[in-house]
Structure 1
Amino acid sequence: MEEKIILYRSFTRFAVALGVLNGMSLKESKQAVKDAFEHHPYAEPIFDFIDIIAIEEQEDIDFLFNEVIRVCDELGPSRDYLTLQVILEAIALTVVDAKKLEENTAALEIVEQFKVAVSEINTKIPKPPLFNMLLETRSILEWTSIYALFPFIPKRIKGEGRPVLLIPPYLGDDFSTSFVRKYLDSLGFVTYKWEMGFNMVKSHYIPRLEEKLDDIYEEHKQKVSIVGWSGGGIFAKIMANRHPNQVEQILTIASPVWGVMDMKTPVYGILEFFRGSSLKERNKRFLEELEPIPDVPVTCIYTKTDGLVPWKHCMEAESYRKDIKNIEVYGSHSGLGANASVLLIVANSLSANLHGRKIEDVTTFIEKILYPFYWNRKRKAFKLKRKLEKATAS
């Protein structure tokens, strides 16, 4: 939250000004912005920002717009800008007075400008650094060590016979997901293979996947959870967008779940060499279908040391809904299918979402120390303690 305080301060002032431009009173506009942020994870401090906005602080809308874009540009690309975009659209579409239609048109134009500006910012995600690419050699150790580690991975979660479809990564087949399937099977989930050979991430797989999803749904008379690794996560998200009535939830493992049309990765060079034409040109409509967030729980597992896919593309907008979660792990992109932490997160997330719980509540203390978020919180708590000690001493 600390790094986004400036963003939310400038954005709330901009959003309130947009509401006033659209015909609302200051009070109505502030309430509309509060309502839009009601379910946001940082709602409480954001409400404080909104409360202190006074009429004399209202500045030129163009100035406020430019200030928000400047802050976004300085913070860098983020999928969470989608949430801000949705909030602005809701405010711009709220017409409180039919006589204010001209202002409404102006507000909608400003929202479109915001979309274009943040879209441009989000094209600036760099490809993985060379160091991360070299670290992909760790995957050999991850795949060989899992045979020794697997018997010791905790088996607390109860799968209760719930169906799970697993989709392999690009150039991977069902062997790629064998350890995830074996672990989920041991917990009582009923897992299903991809069964289409090597995944080349082509749109013609979709009809067969839809048929498989329908068969599993009819067999169990239950919605199906889908787990996709890397390119497999692309299909998981498209299936959830197309068939939310049959999909329980999706879990993606180092999968580019947004912005793929502009994604910079060494993998594209390989794809274009072997396939003879640009992947983006061939699969444009297919990849555009990936952009919307499905109306099912979404859990995205990613690693900041990913050497093949930029990790920011592997995170969904957590601020968009409460049932969207991004979880960081330690590991290489190619080794995540044999990563003990990933196996635990997949099982814990499946169970938590099925029972309407938070993943933190179903994760034990011992398991938490395997994840970066635990150590990040410890570091933040230590820094806060040091600040308090210094303040007390002075």
Structure 2
Amino acid sequence: MTPSTSASRTAATDLPDADHAHAPRPHLWLREGLTGLELAHTALSRRFLAGLPSGDGHPVLVLPGFLAGASSTNVLRAFLRTKGYRVFDWGQGRNMGVRPGLRGRLAERLDHVTDRTGEPMSIVGWSAGGIYAREIARDNPDRVRSVITMGTPMRGNLRATSAWPAYTLLNRGRNAVDLTPEVLGSRAAPLSMPTTCIYSRYDGIVAWELCTSLPAPTTENVEVRSTHLGFGHHRATLAVVADRLAQPVGAWQPYRG
């Protein structure tokens, strides 16, 4: 069966209960095996991809998910280059979760890119990479133009992910501060700049409810039918990303699909 290419926006009134979410069921874990089919479908969709909107060439920083590195975002970054953007990897190697000084190094990366290009950037974060994307943007609102997250757990029961055991094992002793009520409340707060939160009910790694944001004037939740491992190359996701990045500054409109 060919993966769906459609995407839809979720109204704020339909916001799901993330506090009582559960980790994805086993049948969704198995569905993650379709990510290769999703990649193949995208590779065969050149005409569709070529018809997606191009942008104004502003810089875009791309952050990978937990346990992933630059190679995981190759398709996404290559696609964005074809749309005219100046694209940058996060420059931190493999994402191993909480590490001393990482937030500061990412802020330095943001400074480097914006100083080099002379204009605010957009940030695209996949899964746990989206957590860093949001917090960097929150700390630097004058340097960030927009934020897009893909399958990023940002609120609710953050243990409702299949990756939680591996995360706690690799970040033993480092993640306690990240789970205090104060930090969790701050992390869930919407951003001041345009923000698009892409989620999928077919996500086999992160409970989809966690990936939806609380409402705000320029914040939206957009649903696609992707696996978690396919967010970075599923053609529906690429369509949403292209549409959102192509919006002129100060002219934000909700995604219409």
- With the length of structure 1 as denominator, give the TM-score of the two structures: 0.57
**Equivalents in 1 of 2:48, 2:183: separation in Å?**
39
Higher strand share: 2
Amino acid at match of 1:356: A
* 1:236 CA drift (Å): 0.6
Partner of 1:104: none
Change (3 A) 1:299 1:315: same
Matched residue count = 244
CA distance in 1, matches of 2:174, 2:198: 24
Task: Provide the residue aligned with 2:206 in structure 1.
Answer: 309
Contact 1:164 1:189 in 2 (8 A): yes
- CA displacement at 1:148 relative to structure 2: 2.8
Give the Cα–Cα distance (whole angstroms) in 2 for the partners of residues 303 and 279 of structure 1: 29
CA contact (8 A) 1:155 1:186 kept: no
Task: List gaps (5 residues or longer) in structure 1.
Answer: 1-39, 43-74, 79-121, 362-367, 369-394
The match for 1:352 among 235, 247, 251 is 247
Structure 2 distance, partners of 1:199, 1:287, is 20
CA contact (8 A) 1:150 1:340 kept: no
The question of whether the paired residues in 1 share the 8 Å contact of 2:191 and 2:219 is answered with no
Q: What is the rounded CA distance, in whole Å, between the counterparts of 2:249 and 2:225 in structure 1?
A: 25
Alignment of 1:243-322 (within 5 A): 243-259=140-156, 262-275=158-171, 277=172, 280-281=175-176, 283-284=178-179, 288=184, 289-318=186-215, 321-322=216-217
Matches for 1:180-195 after TM superposition, within 5 Å: 180-195=76-91
Higher alpha-carbon Rg: 1
Q: TM-score, normalised by structure 2?
A: 0.85
CA positional deviation for 1:282: 5.8
CA distance in 1, matches of 2:131, 2:90: 14
User: How far off is 1:153 after superposition?
Assistant: 1.3
In 2, are the aligned partners of 1:301 and 1:314 still within 8 Å (CA)? yes
Which residue among 191, 197, 221 is the counterpart of 2:118? 221
Q: 1:134 to 1:265 in 2, by over 3 A?
A: same
Does 2:75 correspond to 1:209? no
Aligned partners of 1:170 and 1:231 also within 8 Å: yes
Distance (whole Å) between structure 2 residues aligned to residue 129 and residue 349 of structure 1 = 31
1:228 partner SS: strand
1:165 maps to 2:61: yes
**Aligned residue in 2 for 1:199:** 95
Q: Could you list the runs of 5+ residues in structure 2 that have no partner in the other structure?
A: 1-10
Give the 3-state SS of the residue equivalent to 1:153 in structure 2. helix
1:235 aligns with 2:132: yes
Q: CA deviation at 1:155?
A: 3.8
The code of the aligned residue for 2:31 comes to: L
Match of 1:22 in 2: none
RMSD: 2.6
Aligned residues with identical type, % of pairs: 27
> CA contact under 8 A between 2:190 and 2:219: conserved in structure 1?
no
From 183, 205, 224, the equivalent of 1:329 is: 224
CA positional deviation for 1:343? 0.8
Between the aligned partners of 1:360 and 1:283, the Cα distance in structure 2 is 31
Contact 2:68 2:94 in 1 (8 A): yes
